[in-house]
Amino acid sequence: MRAIPRLIATLALCSATPAVANPDPADWPAVLDEARGQTVYWNAWGGASATNDFIRWAGDVVKDRYGVNVVHVKLADTGDAVSRVLAEKTAGKDTGGAIDLIWINGANFAAMKKNGLLFGPWAEDLPNWTYVDVEGKPAVTADFTVPTEGLEAPWAMAQVVFYYDTARLPEPPPSMSALLDWAARDPGRFTFPQPPDFLGATFMKQALYGMIADPTVLQSPVDEVDYDAVTAPLWAFMDALTPHLWRQGRAYPQTGPRQLQLMADGEIDLAISFSPGEASAAIANGQLPDTVRSYVMEGGTIGNASFVAIPYNATAKAGAMVLADFLLSPEAQARAQDPVVLGYGTVLALDSLPPEDRARFDALELGIATLSPEALGPTLPEPHPSWMTRIEADWSARYGVAD
Amino acid sequence: MRALRAAPGLTLALMLGPVAAGLIGTLAPALGVFPALGGTRLSLAPFAALAAWPGLGRAVFLSLFTGVAATLISLGIVTLFAAGWQGTRAMAGIERALAPLLAVPHAAAAFGLAFLIAPSGWIARALSPWATGWTRPADLLIVQDPWGLAMVAGLVIKEVPFVLLMLLAALPQARPGPRLRIARALGYGRVTGWLKAVFPAVYAQIRLPVYAVLAYSMSVVDVAIILGPNTPPPLAVQVVRWMSDPDLSLRFQAAAGAVVQLALVAIALAGWRLGEIAIGTLGRRWAEGGARRHGEGAARGAGLALAGLAAGAVVAGLAGLGLWSVAGLWGFPEALPDTVSLKSWARHGPALIAPARETLLIAGAATALALALVLACLEAEHRFGLTPGARSLWLLYLPLVVPQVAFLPGVQTLALMGGADMGRGAVILGHLVFVLPYVFLTLAAPWRAWDARHATVAAALGAGPGRVFWAVRMPMLLAPALGAMAVGLAVSVGQYLPTLLIGAGRVQTLTTEAVALASGGDRRLIGLTALAQTGASVVGFALALAVPRIVWRRRRGLCGA
């Protein structure tokens, strides 16, 4: 991988062809002008109807208001979009790329940033950036500790919660050790999406937080700390837990929504989620019974932000910025936070908003299974992305090839 | 005439260009060369990394076991069924059900089966709690079992209709009626007589489709993810996982895995060929032994039961998914949903219209192109006496045996470099690579088995080669040609990775929508898109079965079976 900086330099030279001037978000009227009539291909995971509906709504509004067409390219995996940009770079297609905007965060962002696959900086010059809660929500400028440097714009906050069915599990375990006790007593009623799905890895990172004396080590790359010593208690915990998992840990749901289906089928009683509003939205859709509630464990839970980024060779950069700016608007943010729609947390600082915009948020009802911001408790920062990669790899070696 | 003579060359070039590019795109990173990721020197490090993956042995075993088991069982069921029931009403009934069975996408059939057999599935619901005593689903490992048995079942229920269709298309050329009559007259039982007198002639013609089933079953990804074990998964699934990992350095290991997968398929095909020879020798001895009957009744019953079970599983699974698409809350152990509404259809249905149109357009164009090329090749072969070597057949096979995920990124790069601009046209050409082999495999055997004396007679009556083709050969082979078209349409409708990679996500078909939605696992959406996908490919199969019957309703021998 050492050759990559050199390679990027070479590619940068090669691509110094007379390119079209890139739009400058500091000159917003010019961006709006250029964006009119453009078509933005927004590559975003397409596995949840709630987000698909939200994206359709955002596209309709942006079309009406700014004349920007939005096409939602529904991905089964964000990695597909990363692969696409990589293939375009391999083929020397440095302009006119197929992807204009990607819903991204964490390891995918880190990989694209490292390999020079992103356009920018642009995000911090968007008009609606002024409302973003940079101080109160450090995750909006540090994506899994990797500085965003204006290469991606945040649009939703997420925090780990657990949801459970009160009809079957009246008293959910308040801590990881209580979870282990409960699983040992009543085996087969808990599981998590199989790593490398992000939720499975998140479950382990969440567990790890409660087991180490000094959580700040998680902010450094794994190769700068004593990884084996830090994670020893985690693996002891996982060794104890795995035999008591659903199907004795011999099979796992592959994604969060398939985990939700297991909950709906009554196969499991407790599940992890990265969206505080997911349970409420699922109840509203008739996917879960209205006896489901969510809660957080003691000591705070991991929180992060979802972003949108523009590939370096995107075709409709101006249109993509207009869409990203709209996603940051109080109007879109309030809609995303509505539990009936998405239930995503806002990235804005509510006290910085004009009163009429603030009122949009005050008018929201939380939803039957959604915790209030106070009840959600403190958020813990995401560890450096290398933790995710390493923990996933170790989990796979220990439990992922067990049969 | 010159154009016709060039047809085989053109076809091979159209197939081989992308495949060669794809193979280079796979081999190079497997040997450490991937300039965009900083790999510039040849090395065996990717294979070393692959060998160090602790799940490799198990993944290789699963790939081989599930593929061979699914193929053996599918072929066995079809053979037993055809032996016992060819020419009967039961056969005609199953034949009528073939179209919808073939049209159900693999992933949808797999989801349907999973919903049937899971501990929280339909069968358990129907029996709970009164028979099983379960008020909650039992914690039983049925789906995703470590041996991949659920996965084998999921493959079998989809491959049985395919092999049966191939067999029905090839059957008339084997002239089963006279053969069976003679065998019966000599006192052979129906099943024994069919196996001894008809099967060898039929198998020779469906051999290539059977190989395709074997290669497909070994490298399938979607069915494996839904029904197969995941700790570890079969090799092809793991290759896909590495391919889409955010850690881009895993692409090297993924490419090495793809090369191993390719080798596995080659080994399995070689093994299968050896098996054919062994069974051929034993079978000859058995046939010459002269035994007239071998448990005829039991064999007939088993054939019908197994074929019915396979068909029933697809139908029931699809019905379950269909019910989910209109279900409100549907908890365990309810056998039926609490409420039924068209909410999901109203919410998502309109968004499927544009992809449906795109799907049919692409499938129609790719299949028409494929059929034209295949007919031109076969006709050129006939007129100019070109005998295709075994080698060119293997070349035709490459798109079917190389795991798609490994070979397509190379195709994508080629398309980008060639300036093909991510449009519908490029996607049609991409689909052609996969559609053409199936059309060829489906059509070649019946086409070649056509009795060329018909042409001699027609020529003697003064017809030129063009007239022989249009007035004699095409009409006589209408049924297999339409069958091949239907298979081609279904193959095109089902393509996911080629559409995504070559179309850059900008060409949206029912399948790209379905896979993206299915990644969420919401059964309502899966049911809805599965029905839409099935609808798209059922058109072709319905036409393939209906048209010959209508056109040739007075000529029974041309109706296809």
* The residue type at A271: A
* Residue A260 is assigned to a structural domain of this protein: yes
> CA B502, B508, B513 angle in degrees (round to 5)?
115
Work out the percent of chain A whose per-residue pLDDT is above 90.
64
Across chain A, mean pLDDT equals 89
Q: State whether residue A71 sits within 8 Å of chain B by CB.
A: yes
With contacts defined as CB-CB under 8 Å, which chain B residues touch A246?
A: 139
Give residue A198's domain range.
Answer: 161-303+380-400
Residue A15, pLDDT above cutoff 50: no
Identify the sign of the CA torsion A31, A32, A35, A41: positive
- Domain shared by A171 and A258, yes or no: yes
B374, B481 in Cβ contact below 8 A?
no
* Residue B38 is assigned to a structural domain of this protein: no
Residues 6+ apart with CB under 8 A from B153: B113, B117, B227, B313
- Domain shared by A207 and A64, yes or no: no
A344, A277 in Cβ contact below 8 A?
yes
Q: In which residue ranges of chain B is pLDDT below 70? A: 1-2, 387-394, 397, 401-403, 405-406, 409, 414, 417-422, 521, 556-561
Based on the number of CB atoms within 10 Å of its own CB, is B392 exposed (0-12), middle (13-18) or buried (19 or more)? middle
- Domain shared by A259 and A344, yes or no: no
- Domain shared by A176 and A142, yes or no: no
- CATH number for the domain that contains residue A387: 3.40.190.10
- Domain shared by A88 and A222, yes or no: no
- Which residue shows structure tokens 């999901």? B344
Count how many pairs of residues, chain A against chain B, have C-beta atoms within 8 Å. Answer: 214
- Domain shared by A235 and A321, yes or no: no
The total number of structural domains that make up chain B? 1
Q: State whether residue B142 sits within 8 Å of chain A by CB.
A: no
Measured distance CA(A12)–CA(A17) in Å, rounded: 10
- Domain shared by A130 and A78, yes or no: yes
- Domain shared by A211 and A275, yes or no: yes
Q: Do A47 and B516 touch (CB under 8 A)?
A: yes
With contacts defined as CB-CB under 8 Å, which chain B residues touch A403?
A: 58, 146, 229, 231-232
How is residue A208 annotated by DSSP? Answer: H
- Domain shared by A150 and A63, yes or no: yes
- Domain shared by A261 and A126, yes or no: no
Provide the token pair at B471. 């007035």
* Residue A374 is assigned to a structural domain of this protein: no
Q: Do B55 and A258 touch (CB under 8 A)?
A: no
* Residue B239 is assigned to a structural domain of this protein: yes
Residues 6+ apart with CB under 8 A from B36: A7, A86, A89, A90
The total number of structural domains that make up chain A? 2
* Residue B45 is assigned to a structural domain of this protein: no
With contacts defined as CB-CB under 8 Å, which chain A residues touch B327?
A: 286
* Residue B39 is assigned to a structural domain of this protein: no
* Residue A275 is assigned to a structural domain of this protein: yes
Q: Do B505 and A43 touch (CB under 8 A)?
A: yes
Based on the number of CB atoms within 10 Å of its own CB, is A368 exposed (0-12), middle (13-18) or buried (19 or more)? middle
The alpha carbon of residue B357 is apart from the nearest alpha carbon of chain A, in Å, by 17
Give SS3 for B344: helix
- Domain shared by A281 and A315, yes or no: no
* Residue A172 is assigned to a structural domain of this protein: yes
* Residue A355 is assigned to a structural domain of this protein: yes
Considering CB atoms only, which of B118, B136, B244 is closest to A77? B244
Chain B residue at shortest CA distance from A258: B521
Measured distance CA(A109)–CA(A93) in Å, rounded: 20
Residue B252 phi/psi, 5-degree rounding, is -65, -50
Model-wide pTM > 0.90:
no
Residues forming a β-bridge with B34: B39
pLDDT in tens, A76-120: 888 889 888 988 888 888 998 999 999 998 889 998 999 899 998
pLDDT in tens, A210-251: 899 899 999 999 999 999 999 999 999 999 999 999 999 999
Q: Do A107 and B119 touch (CB under 8 A)?
A: no
* Residue B16 is assigned to a structural domain of this protein: yes
The alpha carbon of residue A382 is apart from the nearest alpha carbon of chain B, in Å, by 17
Q: Do B516 and A265 touch (CB under 8 A)?
A: no
pLDDT in tens, B21-30: 888 888 888 8
**Within 10 A of B449 (CB to CB), how many other CB atoms are there?**
18
Chain B residue at shortest CA distance from A71: B506
With contacts defined as CB-CB under 8 Å, which chain B residues touch A401?
A: 53-55, 58, 231-232
B494, B513 in Cβ contact below 8 A?
no
Residues 6+ apart with CB under 8 A from B305: none
Q: Do B231 and A401 touch (CB under 8 A)?
A: yes
With contacts defined as CB-CB under 8 Å, which chain B residues touch A81?
A: 505
Buried b (16+ CB within 10 A) or exposed e, B132-148: bebebbeeeebbbbbeb
* The residue type at B31: L
- CATH number for the domain that contains residue B111: 1.10.3720.10
pLDDT band at A10, cuts 50/70/90?
A: very low
- Domain shared by A201 and A262, yes or no: yes
Considering CB atoms only, which of B38, B139, B409 is closest to A247? B139
Residue numbers of A between 88 and 147 with CB closer than 8 Å to B: 88-93, 98-99, 106-108, 110-111, 115
- Distance, C-alpha B135 to centroid of its chain: 39
